[in-house]
Amino acid sequence: QLQNILDRDANLDIPLSTVKDWHSSWHEAYPGIKELNARAETQATKRGYVRMWNGRRRHLEGRDCFKAFNSIIQGGIGQVLVYTINEIAQQYPELQMVCSVHDSIQFYLREDEVLDWIPKIVKLMEKIPTEQFGIPFIVDWKYWSNNA
C-alpha cells in the first residue's frame, strides 16, 4: 500500500523490497507503535469507539476499526486545535483569526502589533491541559508581511 501511495502521490517508483525495509526499520525504531495500534483497534472493535484525550468519542464500526489509532492521534490533535481556538476567541475576541489548517492557526494582525501579540498567543496555546500527555506543548510561529 505504501508503495502505491509513493508512486501515485509523489511519482516515485520505489521497489517493494525497499518500501518493506523502510516499514520494518520504522517499526524497529518505534516498537510500541504496533502494539498501541493493535490495542486501539481491539478497543474500537469491542466498544465501537475510541476515546480522545478530552473524552470525545470517535465511533468506528466493523471494517473501520483499523483507523482507531490514527483517529486517536489525528483526532486528538484536532481537539487540541479546537480547544486552542476557543481559548483564543474567549480571551482575545479582538483578534481576527483567518483560518486553521491542520495544526496551524492564522491571524490578521497589524504589523506594528505582531511582536506584542505573538507572546500572548503562544502562551495561551502552550497552556493546553497536558497532564495526561506527560510532555509540554511547544508552539512555534512565523509571520509574513504583506510587503514581502
> Could you read off the pLDDT tens digit of each residue along the chain, which spans 148 residues?
666 666 676 767 777 788 888 889 988 999 899 899 999 999 999 999 999 888 899 999 899 999 999 999 888 888 888 888 999 999 999 998 998 887 788 888 888 999 999 999 999 888 877 677 777 888 888 888 876 5
Angle between helices 31-47 and 16-29 (to 10 degrees): 90
Half-sphere exposure for 78 (CA within 13 Å, toward CB) = 10
**Identity of the residue numbered 42:** T
- Cβ–Cβ under 8 Å, residues 15 and 37: no
- Cβ–Cβ under 8 Å, residues 69 and 40: yes
| DSSP classification of residue 122 | H
**Which residues have CB under 8 Å from 23's CB, separation 6+?**
2
Cβ atoms within 10 Å of 125's Cβ, excluding its own:
20
Question: What sign for the dihedral angle of Cα 20, 25, 28, 31?
Answer: negative
